[in-house]
Amino acid sequence: MRSTASYVVPFADHLKGRGYKDETIKPYMTSLKLFCTHLGYLKKHHPVEITEADMHSFVRYLSQTPFRGGNLLSAASVNLRIRHIRQFCAWLYRSEVILSDVGQALSYTKKVIRKEKRIFTTDEINRFLGCIEDLLYRTIFELMYATGIRLAEVAGLDVGDIDLGGRTLMVRCGKGDKDRCVPFHTTAAARLKSYLKVREEMKQRERTEALFLSHYGRITTSPIRKAFKEYVEKAGITKAGLTPHS
pLDDT at 110: 65
Do 202 and 218 meet the contact criterion of CB atoms below 8 Å apart?
no
pTM: 0.55
pLDDT at 128: 93
**Paired strand residues for 217:** 214
Tell me the one-letter amino acid at 117.
K
Report mean pLDDT in 10-residue bins for the chain, 246 residues.
92 89 90 93 92 90 80 85 93 92 82 61 90 94 90 89 91 64 91 92 78 87 93 90 81
pLDDT at 115: 54
**Paired strand residues for 168:** 163, 183
pLDDT at 215: 83
Cα separation, 32 vs 11, in Å, equals 10
pLDDT at 203: 72
Cα separation, 111 vs 184, in Å, equals 32
